[in-house]
Amino acid sequence: MGGILRYIAGRTIQIIITYFIIIIFVFLMASFLPSNFVGLLAFSHFTPQQMAYLKAQLGIGLPLWESFVVFFVHMVTFNYGNSFYYGVPVMSLVEQALPRTLLLLGEATVISYIIGYVVGTFAGWKRGGVLDNTSIYFSFAFYNIPTFWLGIILLYAFAFLFPIFPLGGYVTPGIQGMLPAFISLQYHALLPMIVLVLISLAGALLLMRTSMLDVLGEEYINLAAAKGLKERDVLFTHASRNAILPLITSFILSLPFIVSGAVVTETIFSYQGIGYLFISSIDRLDMPVVYALTFIIALLVLVFNLFADILYGVLDPRVRY
Amino acid sequence: MKKYLNSIETTGAFRRSVRGVLRAFRRSPSGIFGLAIIIAFVIMAIFAPVISPYTPDQVAPYSIQFSGDIGTIPINISSVQQPLSIVSSLGGGVGSSVVTNGIMVFNEKGQSLTYNLGVTGGNHSQLKLDVKGSSYHSIPKGIKSLYSVVYYKSVGISYIGYGNDTVYLLYSNLSVHYLYHVGFNITHFSGIFNRYIYDPYLPTMGFAVSGGNHTFLFIEEGNFSVFTNSLSFYSFPLYFNTSYPVITNPLPYLYLDHSPSIIIPTTHKIYDYSINVSRQLTYYKLSAGNIVWSQNLTLRDGTPYSILKTGIVFPAESASLDYNQGKNVVVVPTTNGFILEYSTRNGTLMSEVQLESVIQHTSVPFQGGNLVALWSGVYVTNQISMPISFFKPDITYVTFWNPDQSNFTGISYTIAIPGKVHGDAQVIQSANMFMIPTESYAYYMSIVPPTKSSGNASTPILPMPSGSNYYPIYIGNILLGGASTIISGNYVITITNNNTIFYESVVGYKVSPLPPGNYKDSVTGKYYSYPLGTDYEGHSILSWIVYGARMELVIGITAAASAVLIGVYIGILSGYYGKAMDAVLMRLVDVFLSLPFLIFVILLVSLLGTNIWYVVIAIIVFSWAGIARVVRAVTLSLKTRPYVDASRAVGASNTRIMTAHILPNVLPLTFFYMSTGVGGVIITEATLDFLGFGDPTAITWGMLLQFLQTTGYTLLAPWWLFPPGIAIILLSLSFYLVGRAFDEIVNPRLRRR
Amino acid sequence: MALLEIRNLTIYYRLSEGWVHAIENVNMDMENGERLGLVGESGCGKTTLAYSITFLLPNNAYLKKGSIKFLGRDLTTLAVRKDGRINMFSEGLRGIRWKDISIIFQSAMNSFNPVITIGDQIAEAILTHENIGKEEVRKRIEALFEIVGIPKDRIDSYPHEYSGGMKQRAMIAMSIALNPKLIIADEPTTALDVITQDKILAELVKLQKEFNSSMIIISHDISIVAQLSTRIAIMYAGQIVELALTREIFKGPRHPYTMALLKAFPSIKGEKKRLATIQGSPPDLINPPKGCRFSPRCQFAKERCLIEEPLLREISPGHTVACHFAEEVSGGR
């Protein structure tokens, strides 16, 4: 038990260091590129209060080192100040938007990986069979569809031609009460979630199938069958139980891309989560929000990486901390 | 390449393996499919001009994109005889919007027909001119030209006309209010000048006629007081007669100046007459040159004059122009392609610009000389510039002059008008256009200068019936409904030789984006074929697909290959040298791998700017890390292979080992990433375009979709929505399949047992 | 009644390139208490033959004809579909597996599922066939471990915590857990060092005698087979070419291939000789040669060999050979 705690501690330190490096990286990007965000100030119409904020919070206008210190301190303490556009503290915007995104992403990821796990297991087991080939074609196709286009097509089909789903937003305006609001939220999240599920499913399916093929070549599968186990048990107790491990690794590596998918999907469906907020803030040059979201999202990715690593450790006894 | 390959110790194996790989590839059906599709796209890209007869920037003709109102009104010829002219009748309205509710045709024999007009149609797209009745009047004989005037209604004058040496002022019932013999053969009418200056001592209204080397000015007389709506005390004439020594050819026009002076340009000189109290004339000769003139330039200033008992100012057309506030200059074009700016205070040349250096982006080069220049001065809302257009008989150039800075704003464009320009250009204020008639068409050119994002100004081309003695004129807007303030219509009218009034509305209803099909240009009769339809501007979707393929292939392959090569480089370095370099590089790789891809690509692109190559760079920056990690792992395992040790024992340098031993064995495994990476790049670039971070000038499928989204036709134009998406999917998928096919060969795990 | 009666067994594998004739017309019998060795080169079909008894064959295996009678029951009726495809998980088969026929896999290294404890995996084998409580299972495993010599406290360890030799022993323990009638030992010593090998071999024989089960030992190493088995079947290109008591194979091999095989193994005693190899390479089983499959490499081959396929015939009691000229061919070392 001590081993795992030590591992978490070690990884947390790693995360912090990586986070620091990311802040430095973004700062360098923002400071040294030609049309950097500072330069943008030249022709965007910031009010004096906004200028004051920028100076105080981000160190704009100060010499490089001081600027960096100000920036760094504020970013690590999550002190982002107020949004230019909304005028409210950035964290309050994030508090509102983040749960919506987590709901969307969380549900989509869980669903797609569960389906991927189950279908991939069967697809790999009956290699060359109908399910296998269908899964492969499906995965190939959906792996190569641009997320935004898929979103529009689904909107076109199911919110326009056959209007089952709403055209956008995250909740029906004017809704009262917790439960109706929750249902409305789910209803609105449904179409974006379908998009996300389809996209991640492609990757998860393929990977699970490949992983299954690897595992099926292992001797212990033969052993399991030789012991007289039922087909189902061989499949799930032995084969996919091992095949899922690379799936977790891939999940970790694909997190940054899942987040990207969320950004696009939210924008298409006007689903006011973190991704939507990010894109609209960049368009509006709402700097505090842009910085805040960049770092928060990066941090989230890092934290989820850690969760996945721990999960991997739980599932694979060969990994010992 | 061969020599290099020969020098690798593992050559034999390598070459054999390449051949084996190709053989095995042939057995993979999905790989072949993918390769076939890629080849198809490459062919499409190379032979784009053959496949699509239109380039991506070519726009469907106006008559296909717009459905406007075109029609004829037969003239009741029993009432009138040929030849006929048209004048627009009065309707009301002030300033820039001339509103018409009727037209009149007349001849020199004193016959006139008045048509009362209206429009029907519930909305803008279905406007139809409606003749509500006609009536016959007789007018004085001998009138060659007749003009309706807005501003003298209160005086009772609705029409001003001239013929031979006589000027006629007519009431609305076409009876004569006043006529005056000027003593010379009148060939030109200056238009009504109306000055909005609250100066009690200066006349605010007037007009002039000229012929030969004479000019006769009419201004109102009476008690000048602050301009009010009741103009009952105005009457004509208080006139001013000038003549100038040089015979002008062609005929001169009049310009208003800020000081009480008259400017008359001739072919050789510009004469500036200043009028003093005693009505004696002095004049300055401005510098000579091949000076041409333009019409419809109205100058207005806001500085109060010193008080004079009499002051004469001469306006041009009723179009108002906020020009050169207080600068007192006149801008004159010349036939040899110069634009000269003169001070009217003392006649000095203040600046000159050579048109050739100003006109940019011309598809038809400026050839100078032979310029039959026509200068339109038009007030452009919120802009202090005025467009200057020049046309030779068959080409019109439009550039924009910024009078405040006495220079050209630099935004200019040309349209080549086939056919001889036949008639004066006219301003259509409310549509922000001016019309240039040729014998068969009327070209409507937008006055508003195009900006980078708006592309070329739209130039609708509408047919004009050929064989007409009468030049088309803009008669104004026709009100929709009596009391409605909705002004719509913008009608241009001419009389054809077969006794009909031909009319067309300039601004029609845009029917683009066009669904797939064949369309006939009602003007030229040519057929335009759009198998995939068009977008909102009229660009052929097919052209965007085939030409876009070029860009997609180039950026896809460039970005993917670069990212992989960088990753390979870093990976090999890191894996081979190990220790400190490995630790540092891998920490870097970890950081990059943990960054949310799209977020940072967007961030970097918005910092760098919207250029397609910045997009490529941004993608590369955040893509190399994954490959680096894989390559490092492979390098680590290769490092321990016996031939590496053997090489080192022989004395090979590190670089040599890395390039000759490790690299060739790493590369096949990276093929998968290179190939599938292309698909990823294509999709990422399209996503960036769609979200608004792409390069607006790039011809890519993503931009096509973005344009779809921003014009709001996402759900309404499936022929625009599906092809780019399908193209992206196909191309990306095929690179993916090819990559996978190779991976299955190179990477033994996936082989069938 | 014979333990095992195999008649005319023909099994093909279906590949995209064509049908691989893995086993062709194999006839074989086994009695209780026997230890039969299957010897041959890689790809000769010995694994296919052995595994086919429990139908532990890959997806693309087709049983084209033949029967496998185990304790009088024809197993082919349980598992083979009309077109020859094998229903690997048919209930009848599953009942027999491990309870009556168990397998000691080639490489114990990879034979265990890495994410499940050894104890659980053995328990799984037991519980699949017997409905007993956890306590009982535990006791049984402990007993088994004692037999093979693994400390009891390792029951709940994971495979990666075992050494190679321990794993092999755990494998053996598992294989005897249900006291099967037939144990198939697939290359039982390939992955082990020589010393452990020795130990394991001895244990195997001891156990087999103790539990009175029969054993099929598959190996390409004829010396191992010599030590372990009572009878030996030599296989070549999917067919049994010689089947006899171990003694007889070594003293008097009658098939040219057997002879060549014996010559190919160096002997510690005797003078230093050049290693003899068998010329040529095994035939392509997608298009096996007509006639005797060994004929292209056989030094004694005559015309008849190229045309007519030799069938297994008894050349002396209990000694069968598939060669036209077995009498003429003199063997012995």
pLDDT at residue B310, rounded to an integer: 18
Closest CA to B724 of B537, B528, B548: B548
C16 contacts in B (CB within 8 Å)? 27, 752
DSSP letters for A4-24: HHHHHHHHHHHHHHHHHHHHH
pLDDT at residue B522, rounded to an integer: 66
Interface partners of chain B (CB pairs < 8 Å, 3 or more) are A, C
DSSP-derived 3-state class of residue C133: coil
pLDDT at residue B2, rounded to an integer: 45
State the average pLDDT for chain B.
70
Interface of B with C in 466-495 (CB under 8 A): none
Comparing B724 with A207, which gets the higher pLDDT?
Answer: B724
C114 contacts in A (CB within 8 Å)? 220, 242, 316-318
- Cross-chain Cβ contact A226/C93 below 8 Å: no
Q: Are B242 and B273 in contact (CB under 8 A)?
A: yes
- Strand blocks (E) in A53-106: none
d(CA B354, CA B358): 7
Interface partners of chain C (CB pairs < 8 Å, 3 or more) are A, B
Say which amino acid occupies A310: I
> Counting beta carbons within 10 angstroms of the beta carbon of residue A72, is it exposed (0 to 12), middle (13 to 18) or buried (19 or more)?
middle
Q: Are C306 and C295 in contact (CB under 8 A)?
A: yes
- Lowest-pLDDT choice from A260-274, B378-392, B423-437, C184-198: B378-392
Question: What's the farthest any 2 CA atoms get from each other in chain C?
Answer: 67
**By CA distance, what is C60's nearest residue in B?**
B753
How long, in residues, is chain B?
753
Closest CA to B681 of B740, B746, B613, B628: B613
Shortest distance between the Cα of B124 and any Cα of chain A, in A, equals: 26
> Counting beta carbons within 10 angstroms of the beta carbon of residue A36, is it exposed (0 to 12), middle (13 to 18) or buried (19 or more)?
middle
- Is C96 in the A-facing interface, judged by CB distances under 8 Å? yes
d(CA B429, CA A210): 68
Angle formed by the axes of helices A274-283 and B597-608, nearest 10° = 0
Closest CA to B376 of B366, B362, B390: B390
Percentage of residues of chain A with pLDDT beyond 70: 87
Closest CA to C95 of C169, C178, C173, C33: C178
Average pLDDT over residues B60-68: 74
Comparing A110 with B323, which gets the higher pLDDT?
Answer: A110
The shares of helix, strand and coil residues in chain B, as percent rounded to the nearest 5, are 30, 30, 40
C58 contacts in B (CB within 8 Å)? 753
Average pLDDT over residues A139-148: 91
Write the pLDDT tens digit of every residue in B109-142.
Answer: 888 888 888 777 655 556 677 788 888 888 888 8
A215 contacts in C (CB within 8 Å)? none
A314 contacts in C (CB within 8 Å)? none
**By CA distance, what is A243's nearest residue in C?**
C115
pLDDT at residue B526, rounded to an integer: 81
Shortest distance between the Cα of A36 and any Cα of chain C, in A, equals: 51
pLDDT at residue B347, rounded to an integer: 60
pLDDT at residue B509, rounded to an integer: 63
d(CA B461, CA B472): 14
Write the pLDDT tens digit of every residue in C199-218.
Answer: 777 777 888 888 888 999 89
Out of C94, C110, C158, closest to residue A220 by CB: C110
Out of B599, B729, B749, closest to residue A259 by CB: B599
C15 contacts in B (CB within 8 Å)? 752
- Cross-chain Cβ contact B594/A278 below 8 Å: no
Residue partners of B163: CB distance under 8 A and separation at least 6: B108, B142, B143, B144, B145, B186
C167 contacts in A (CB within 8 Å)? none
- Is A130 in the C-facing interface, judged by CB distances under 8 Å? no
Residue C272 pLDDT > 50: yes
Residue entry with tokens 């048919």: C90
List Cα–Cα distances, B477 to A298, B40, B151, B156, B441, in angstroms. Answer: 59, 53, 17, 22, 20
C56 contacts in A (CB within 8 Å)? 222, 225-226
Say which amino acid occupies A273: G
- Cross-chain Cβ contact C105/A317 below 8 Å: no
- Is A238 in the C-facing interface, judged by CB distances under 8 Å? yes
pLDDT at residue A251, rounded to an integer: 76
Residue A223 pLDDT > 80: yes
Average pLDDT over residues B10-27: 65
d(CA B701, CA B698): 9
Write the pLDDT tens digit of every residue in B86-95.
Answer: 777 655 544 4
Residue B748 pLDDT > 50: yes
pLDDT at residue B93, rounded to an integer: 46
Write the pLDDT tens digit of every residue in B330-387.
Answer: 666 565 566 666 666 666 667 776 666 655 444 445 544 434 444 444 333 333 345 5
Q: Which two tokens stand for residue B589?
A: 């790789």
List Cα–Cα distances, B27 to B236, B530, C62, in angstroms. Answer: 97, 39, 24
pLDDT at residue B468, rounded to an integer: 63
Most confident of A149-153, A165-169, B55-59, B360-364: A149-153
A219 contacts in C (CB within 8 Å)? 105-107, 110-111
Residue B523 pLDDT > 50: yes
- Cross-chain Cβ contact B609/A160 below 8 Å: no
DSSP-derived 3-state class of residue B194: strand
Closest CA to C101 of C57, C50, C64, C135: C50
Please write down the long-range contacts of B259-262, taking CB distance under 8 Å and 24 or more positions apart. B259/B305, B259/B328, B259/B344, B259/B345, B260/B202, B260/B305, B260/B308, B260/B311, B260/B312, B260/B313, B261/B344, B262/B215, B262/B217, B262/B312, B262/B314
Residue entry with tokens 């499919």: B33
State the average pLDDT for chain A.
81
Confidence of residue A46 (pLDDT cuts 50, 70, 90): low
- Lowest-pLDDT choice from A20-24, B367-371, B472-476, C181-185: B367-371
Q: Are B672 and B737 in contact (CB under 8 A)?
A: no
Please report the domains of chain B, with CATH numbers, ordered by start residue: 2-58+539-750 (1.10.3720.10)
Assign residue B122 a region: left if phi > 0, alpha if psi is -120 to 50, beta otherwise?
A: alpha
DSSP-derived 3-state class of residue B160: strand
Q: Are B618 and B601 in contact (CB under 8 A)?
A: yes
Q: Which two tokens stand for residue B731?
A: 């191309």
Write the pLDDT tens digit of every residue in A245-303.
Answer: 888 877 777 777 788 888 999 998 888 889 999 999 888 877 778 888 888 888 888 88
Out of B599, B609, B725, closest to residue A263 by CB: B599
**By CA distance, what is B27's nearest residue in C?**
C16
DSSP label of C59: T
Confidence of residue B242 (pLDDT cuts 50, 70, 90): low
Closest CA to C6 of C24, C38, C29: C29
Q: H-helix or E-strand containing C231? A: strand C231-236
d(CA B378, CA C133): 100
**By CA distance, what is A21's nearest residue in B?**
B591
User: What backbone phi and psi angles, to 5 degrees, belong to B341?
Assistant: -115, 115
Confidence of residue A162 (pLDDT cuts 50, 70, 90): confident
Percentage of residues of chain A with pLDDT beyond 90: 8
Comparing B695 with B224, which gets the higher pLDDT?
Answer: B695
d(CA B397, CA B402): 16
pLDDT at residue B495, rounded to an integer: 82
Q: Are A120 and A215 in contact (CB under 8 A)?
A: no
- Is A311 in the C-facing interface, judged by CB distances under 8 Å? no
- Lowest-pLDDT choice from B12-21, B67-76, B130-139, C286-295: B12-21
- Is A6 in the C-facing interface, judged by CB distances under 8 Å? no
The three-point CA angle B550-B552-B553 to 5° equals 70
Write the pLDDT tens digit of every residue in C231-248.
Answer: 999 998 888 989 999 888
Interface partners of chain A (CB pairs < 8 Å, 3 or more) are B, C
Residue B519 pLDDT > 60: yes
Mutate to test the interface with C, among A223, A235, A319 (most CBs of C within 10 A): A223
pLDDT at residue B702, rounded to an integer: 95
**By CA distance, what is C17's nearest residue in B?**
B27
List Cα–Cα distances, C303 to A36, A154, B404, C298, C307, in angstroms. Answer: 88, 73, 110, 12, 7
- Cross-chain Cβ contact A22/B736 below 8 Å: no
pLDDT at residue A44, rounded to an integer: 44
Tell me the H-state helices in B354-443. 355-358
- Lowest-pLDDT choice from B278-282, B553-557, C96-100, C124-128: B278-282
- Is B751 in the C-facing interface, judged by CB distances under 8 Å? no
- Lowest-pLDDT choice from B209-213, B629-633, C57-61, C175-179: B209-213
pLDDT at residue C325, rounded to an integer: 83
Comparing B203 with A306, which gets the higher pLDDT?
Answer: A306
Percentage of residues of chain C with pLDDT beyond 90: 12
Interface of B with C in 13-52 (CB under 8 A): 27
- Does a cis peptide bond (omega within 30 degrees of 0) precede residue B250? yes
pLDDT at residue B251, rounded to an integer: 46
d(CA B702, CA B724): 7
> Counting beta carbons within 10 angstroms of the beta carbon of residue B540, is it exposed (0 to 12), middle (13 to 18) or buried (19 or more)?
buried
Write the pLDDT tens digit of every residue in B547-574.
Answer: 999 999 999 999 999 999 999 999 988 8
Residue C163 pLDDT > 80: yes
Shortest distance between the Cα of B27 and any Cα of chain C, in A, equals: 10
- Cross-chain Cβ contact C128/A238 below 8 Å: no
Shortest distance between the Cα of A263 and any Cα of chain B, in A, equals: 8
Q: Are C7 and C25 in contact (CB under 8 A)?
A: no
pLDDT at residue A4, rounded to an integer: 77
Say which amino acid occupies A156: Y
pLDDT at residue B432, rounded to an integer: 65
**By CA distance, what is B683's nearest residue in A?**
A146
Question: Model-level pTM greater than 0.80?
Answer: no
Interface of A with B in 49-88 (CB under 8 A): none
Please report the domains of chain C, with CATH numbers, ordered by start residue: 4-229 (3.40.50.300)
Average pLDDT over residues B631-658: 80
Confidence of residue B455 (pLDDT cuts 50, 70, 90): very low
pLDDT at residue B686, rounded to an integer: 95
DSSP-derived 3-state class of residue B599: helix
Residue B295 pLDDT > 70: no
Confidence of residue C309 (pLDDT cuts 50, 70, 90): confident
Q: H-helix or E-strand containing C37? A: strand C35-39
- Cross-chain Cβ contact B608/A34 below 8 Å: yes
**By CA distance, what is B28's nearest residue in C?**
C16
Confidence of residue C268 (pLDDT cuts 50, 70, 90): low
d(CA A295, CA A187): 30
pLDDT at residue C269, rounded to an integer: 63
Residues of B with CB under 8 A from a CB of A: 30, 587, 590-591, 593-600, 602-604, 606-609, 626, 679, 683, 686-687, 690-692, 705, 709, 714-715, 718, 721, 725, 728-729, 732-733, 736-737, 749-750, 753
Write the pLDDT tens digit of every residue in B483-517.
Answer: 444 445 678 888 877 778 888 877 666 777 888 98
Average pLDDT over residues B180-196: 73
pLDDT at residue B331, rounded to an integer: 62
d(CA B115, CA A86): 58
Out of C59, C95, C114, closest to residue A228 by CB: C95
